[in-house]
């Protein structure tokens, strides 16, 4: 395994550049294997590493003796000897697997330097010095691709494949990958940046992955001494970055949990205790700032809510292992965050798709929270009543600080479910989508949010403005224009006048008047009424100081088959259907758009980052001269139903009464309150 090194050449260079790291050639950096090698090639880095340690820490006596004697190589050898026998991080230590020739296809792909980042496959090229190009942005020239590849999740995947198979090639790749990256990343810039290598999130992810590998391979012959020392030299830089240049919101939870990981996994560092104390202070304050009393994270993206939740929980586990007692509110907040996702989850187990985020299942996360906090009612919700205990409340839930109403007919797999957003804009990853409505029924998504598409690169260049805009949501456009930015945070919960959840119906309403691209004044108030087990009524009230063109958008899931019959747009699915029926005398023109690119993007859906497909958007268009009221019936059914009718029986400023008749002639009359 060991390759020869031209020590005379290295020594000559060191004489010319005392105390400075040597810039190695394509062949030389791969040959830095032993303690002697790395001390010759990077003496300044090794000295800086030793200075980062508290040499009075129990067990580091011989390291200190060598440092006092100015024997750099011996000090580094004694440091490795210390780690080979210390008792740090028992939860990260692994027994080495029995050697075999077994392989894992996904890991073999990574060994070819082919990484799959957010569904995009790219082969990382080598630079002239033989290093991988750690700034490579993937085939779509996407900064996100470079950032995520520098989090080293692919390296963790190879590490896990080694533990699973015992195949030495995976361990050798882990070792070589780390030497390549750490050497190429020198010098540590020591300042906040947004480059491909030194950015807060990437630093935080690497800290966790490297800690896992360092202790997981303590007994491995394949993680070379030079690599172990390079890790130990770079870890303090990572901690310094996350300590001094961390961000806020969900980013902070990842960065500060990484700082705590380093502080507790490597307590020998001089600043470890300060790192941990700072982590506790900052994480606690951030938790207070970024989680509402109803348990929703203030970015109001269910995706990033989970990111914060997982990292808050990780932080608590770190502190528990370190014997650091956190204040009671910390655990209470984690429980509330679990409660939020348990009560918001769709019947099929998927989370809300709102603001930036991906559609995905929350079932396993909810069940984990239910076990931790002893919540059999959460188990009942997540398993559609197959396990656990039926909740004493619900099935609908209102989150008054987040401004979100989750309506359900029940907890079974075929239940009606809807999401209505009347909350603040959010503190990050926002879309201009206040008053948006999404609907599922009979195990199928029907009316959907368009998703996030991508943040940077070719996909984002095409679709990002659409994803952010009102045109990608189930909203009204005024003269073809959508909403602008809104207040980031809720200063108070929703007023009792804005919502009501009863045994037979749910009601909520919200208003929005910030339309910066629209001339004059316009205010949109939307009321949602759900008659439990029956249907939804949507009432849109528009106040305007001039005539307007109104576009009412209804976005359908890509799997839905859409038909137009008169004024009604409906699905014709084998199972799980919905009709959108305008109620009243307003005349509408209906247009179905699917996968449109010109004159503008419309009719696209993104389930996950970098994935997208056409979906049908039904656009109802009308003209108004002054303030107007529009009423809509959203009628779900298991099979396709024809002949559903709705009419307005009475209409007052504070209420509207609607009669709905289904295809069997059954009549249901409801009164929707309009007072806010």
| Residue 288 to residues 283, 311, 334, 520, Cα–Cα distance (Å) | 9, 15, 11, 39
- Phi, psi angles (nearest 5°) of residue 37: -60, -50
Q: Give the list of residues 6+ apart from residue 252 with CB closer than 8 angstroms, or none.
A: 246, 282, 283, 286, 290
Tell me whether the omega of the peptide bond preceding residue 599 falls within 30 degrees of 0, making it cis.
yes
Containing structural domain, residue 462 = 394-673
Cβ atoms within 10 Å, residue 364: 10
Identify whether the C-beta of residue 53 lies closer than 8 Å to the C-beta of residue 63: yes
Cβ atoms within 10 Å, residue 70: 9
Identify whether the C-beta of residue 398 lies closer than 8 Å to the C-beta of residue 501: yes
By CB neighbour count within 10 A (0-12 exposed, 13-18 middle, 19+ buried), where does 664 fall? exposed
Q: Give the list of residues 6+ apart from residue 90 with CB closer than 8 angstroms, or none.
A: none
Identify whether the C-beta of residue 229 lies closer than 8 Å to the C-beta of residue 49: yes
Low-confidence stretches of the chain (pLDDT beneath 70): 1-27, 676
Q: Give the list of residues 6+ apart from residue 536 with CB closer than 8 angstroms, or none.
A: 407, 418, 437, 439, 528, 529, 530, 633, 634
- What is the per-residue pLDDT for 15? 29
Cα 100 to its chain centre, rounded Å, is: 37
> 538: closest CA among 451, 604, 410, 447?
447
The reply to whether 180 falls in a domain is: no
Question: Which residue reads 């990981």 in tokens?
Answer: 261
Identify whether the C-beta of residue 601 lies closer than 8 Å to the C-beta of residue 651: no
- What is the per-residue pLDDT for 26? 46
Q: Is the dihedral of CA 343, 346, 347, 349 positive or negative?
A: negative
- What is the per-residue pLDDT for 675? 74
> 43: closest CA among 22, 61, 27?
22
Question: Which residue reads 């209420």 in tokens?
Answer: 655
Identify whether the C-beta of residue 511 lies closer than 8 Å to the C-beta of residue 524: yes
Beta-bridged to residue 541, according to DSSP, are: 525, 629
The reply to whether 422 falls in a domain is: yes
Beta-bridged to residue 418, according to DSSP, are: 407, 439
Q: How many CA atoms lie within 13 A of 676 on its CB side?
A: 15
CA 522, CA 383: separation in Å to the nearest integer?
A: 44
Q: Which two tokens stand for residue 629?
A: 């009221």
Q: Which two tokens stand for residue 7?
A: 């020590």
CA 450, CA 202: separation in Å to the nearest integer?
A: 28
CA 121, CA 109: separation in Å to the nearest integer?
A: 10
- What is the per-residue pLDDT for 584? 93
Question: Which residue reads 């806020």 in tokens?
Answer: 248
Total domains present in the chain? 1
- What is the per-residue pLDDT for 232? 98
Q: Which two tokens stand for residue 530?
A: 């759900």
CA 191, CA 152: separation in Å to the nearest integer?
A: 21
The reply to whether 647 falls in a domain is: yes
The reply to whether 347 falls in a domain is: no
Identify whether the C-beta of residue 352 lies closer than 8 Å to the C-beta of residue 340: no
> Order of strands across the sheet with 577-583?
499-501, 505-512, 522-531, 535-544, 628-637, 577-583, 568-571, 562-565
Q: Which segments of 457-606 are extended strands (E)? A: 476-478, 499-501, 505-512, 522-531, 535-544, 548-555, 562-565, 568-571, 577-583, 589-594, 604-605
**445-472: b (≥16 Cβ within 10 Å) or e:** bbbbbbbbbbbbbebbeebbebbbbbbb
Identify whether the C-beta of residue 228 lies closer than 8 Å to the C-beta of residue 260: no
**295-332: b (≥16 Cβ within 10 Å) or e:** bbbbbbbbbbbbbbbbbbbbbbebbeeeebebeeebee
- Judged by DSSP in three states, 171 sits in helix
CATH number for the domain spanning 412: value is 2.70.98.70
Q: What's the per-residue H, E or C state across 588-613?
A: CEEEEEECECCCCCECEECCCCCCCE
| Residue 245 to residues 242, 248, 272, 340, 414, Cα–Cα distance (Å) | 6, 10, 17, 30, 47
Q: What is the DSSP string of 626-655?
A: S-EEEEEEEEEESS-----EEEEEEEETTE
CA 588, CA 447: separation in Å to the nearest integer?
A: 20
Residues 505-520: pLDDT tens digits? Answer: 999 999 999 999 999 9
Question: Which residue reads 């209505």 in tokens?
Answer: 420
The reply to whether 630 falls in a domain is: yes
Residues constituting the chain: 676
Q: What's the per-residue H, E or C state across 80-126?
A: HHHHHHCCCCHHHCCCCCCCCCCCCHHHHHHHCCEEEECCEEEECCE
- Phi, psi angles (nearest 5°) of residue 650: -150, 155
Identify whether the C-beta of residue 536 lies closer than 8 Å to the C-beta of residue 634: yes
| Residue 353 to residues 56, 362, 440, 535, Cα–Cα distance (Å) | 52, 12, 12, 21
Give the chain's largest Cα–Cα span: 96
* φ/ψ bin of 388: left (φ > 0), alpha (ψ from -120 to 50), beta (otherwise): left
The reply to whether 570 falls in a domain is: yes
CA 273, CA 266: separation in Å to the nearest integer?
A: 10
The reply to whether 485 falls in a domain is: yes
The reply to whether 454 falls in a domain is: yes
For the question of whether the overall pTM of this predicted structure is more than 0.85, the answer is: yes
Residues 446-492: pLDDT tens digits? Answer: 999 999 999 999 999 999 999 999 999 999 999 999 999 999 999 99
């Amino acid at each position: 395994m060991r390759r020869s090194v031209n020590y005379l050449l290295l020594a000559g260079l060191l004489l010319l550049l005392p105390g400075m790291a040597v810039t190695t050639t394509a062949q030389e950096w791969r040959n830095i294997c032993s303690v002697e090698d790395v001390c010759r090639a990077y003496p300044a880095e090794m000295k800086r590493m030793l200075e980062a340690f508290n040499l009075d820490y129990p067990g580091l006596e011989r390291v200190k003796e060598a440092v006092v004697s100015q024997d750099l190589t011996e000090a580094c050898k004694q440091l490795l000897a210390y780690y080979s026998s210390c008792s740090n991080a028992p939860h990260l230590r692994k027994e080495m697997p029995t050697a075999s020739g077994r392989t894992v296809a996904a890991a073999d792909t990574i060994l070819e330097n082919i990484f799959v980042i957010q569904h995009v496959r790219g082969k990382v090229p080598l630079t002239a010095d033989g290093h991988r190009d750690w700034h490579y942005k993937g085939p779509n020239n996407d900064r996100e691709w470079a950032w995520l590849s520098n989090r080293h999740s692919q390296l963790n995947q190879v590490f896990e494949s080694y533990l699973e198979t015992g195949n030495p090639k995976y361990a050798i790749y882990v070792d070589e990958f780390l030497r390549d990256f750490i050497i190429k990343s020198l010098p540590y810039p020591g300042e906040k940046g947004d480059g491909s290598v030194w950015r807060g999130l990437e630093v935080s992810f690497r800290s966790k992955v490297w800690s896992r590998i360092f202790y997981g391979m303590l007994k491995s012959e394949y993680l070379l001494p030079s690599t172990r020392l390079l890790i130990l030299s770079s870890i303090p830089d990572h901690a310094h970055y996350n300590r001094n240049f961390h961000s806020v919101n969900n980013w902070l939870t990842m960065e500060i949990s990484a700082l705590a990981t380093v502080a507790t996994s490597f307590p020998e560092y001089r600043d470890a205790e300060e790192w941990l104390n700072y982590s506790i202070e900052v994480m606690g304050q951030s938790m207070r700032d970024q989680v509402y009393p109803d348990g929703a994270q203030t970015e109001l993206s269910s995706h990033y809510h989970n990111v914060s939740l997982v990292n808050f929980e990780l932080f608590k586990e770190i502190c528990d292992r370190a014997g650091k007692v956190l204040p009671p509110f910390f655990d209470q907040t984690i429980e509330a965050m679990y409660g939020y996702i348990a009560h918001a989850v769709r019947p099929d187990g998927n989370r809300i798709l709102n603001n930036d985020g991906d559609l995905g299942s929350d079932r396993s996360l909810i069940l984990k929270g239910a076990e931790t906090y002893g919540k059999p009612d959460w188990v009942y919700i997540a398993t559609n009543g197959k396990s656990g205990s039926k909740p004493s409340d619900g099935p609908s839930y209102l989150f008054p600080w987040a401004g979100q109403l989750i309506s359900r007919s029940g907890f079974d797999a075929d239940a009606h479910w809807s999401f209505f957003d009347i909350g603040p804009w959010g503190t990050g990853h926002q879309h201009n989508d206040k008053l948006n409505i999404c609907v599922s029924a009979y195990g199928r998504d029907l009316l959907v949010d368009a998703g996030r598409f991508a943040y940077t690169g070719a996909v984002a260049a095409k679709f990002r403005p659409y994803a952010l805009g009102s045109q990608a949501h189930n909203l009204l456009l005024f003269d073809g224009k959508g909403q602008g930015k809104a207040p980031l945070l809720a200063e108070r919960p929703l007023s009792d006048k804005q919502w009501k959840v009863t045994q037979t119906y749910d009601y909520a309403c919200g208003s929005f008047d910030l339309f910066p691209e629209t001339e004059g004044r316009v205010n949109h108030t939307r009321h949602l009424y759900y008659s439990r087990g029956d249907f939804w009524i949507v009432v849109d009230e528009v106040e305007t100081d001039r005539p307007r063109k109104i576009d009412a958008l209804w976005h359908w899931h890509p799997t839905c088959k859409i038909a137009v019959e008169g004024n009604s747009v409906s699905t014709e699915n084998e199972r799980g259907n919905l009709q959108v029926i305008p109620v009243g005398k307003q005349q509408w023109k209906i247009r179905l758009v699917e996968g449109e690119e010109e004159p503008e993007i419309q009719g696209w859906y993104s389930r996950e980052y970098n994935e997208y497909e056409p979906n049908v958007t039904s656009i109802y268009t009308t003209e108004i001269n002054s303030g107007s009221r529009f009423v809509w019936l959203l009628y779900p059914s298991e099979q396709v139903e024809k002949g559903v009718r709705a009419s307005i029986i009475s209409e007052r400023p504070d209420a509207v009464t609607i009669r709905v008749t289904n295809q069997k002639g059954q009549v249901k009359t409801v009164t929707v309150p309009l007072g806010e």
